[in-house]
Amino acid sequence: MIADTTEIPNEGGPTTRELIQLAGGEASFQVTNVASWEDVDSAVGKLMADYGRLDIVVNNAAIYASKPLHEPTDEEWERVLAVNLTGMFHGCKRAVQQFRLRETANDVRGGSSRSPRGTA
């Protein structure tokens, strides 16, 4: 599952979902604002309903103010923090909650039971 505020790449071209599908994989897209706990929780809930398990999280949402450091307003800076820091926290927290629900396999919860220890 790809979770983002928009599916359309800023730079144009095919979406990540389309690229995965063209390579023979399966993918879905869920509109998600990582600064919102409700959005992140909903995305993981949908992923569980659709796929049945969470194996890995790539927590890479990030924004910037697009201005020199001395120009952003407090509101713009708060938005950067909400996405870049709070969003990272939400993604990690929700993934760990889901991983802890799984039975252990080879002393590991989360990730594939086929993964070498420490790489899940």
Domain count, the chain: 1
For 52, the domain range is 2-101
Sign of torsion over alpha carbons 98, 82, 63, 7: positive
Residue 107: inside a domain, yes or no?
no
Which domain CATH number covers 9? 3.40.50.720
Q: Is residue 120 part of a domain?
A: no
Residue 13 included in any domain: yes
In the DSSP assignment, the letter for residue 105 is: B
Residue 110: inside a domain: no
Look at residue 14 in the predicted model and tell me its pLDDT.
Answer: 97
* 23 located within any domain: yes
Per residue in 15-65, pLDDT tens?
A: 999 999 999 999 999 999 999 999 999 999 999 999 999 999 999 999 999
In whole angstroms, what is the distance from residue 114 CA to residue 108 CA?
A: 10
Q: Tell me, what DSSP letter sits at residue 14? A: S
Q: Is the confidence at residue 112, as pLDDT, over 90? A: no
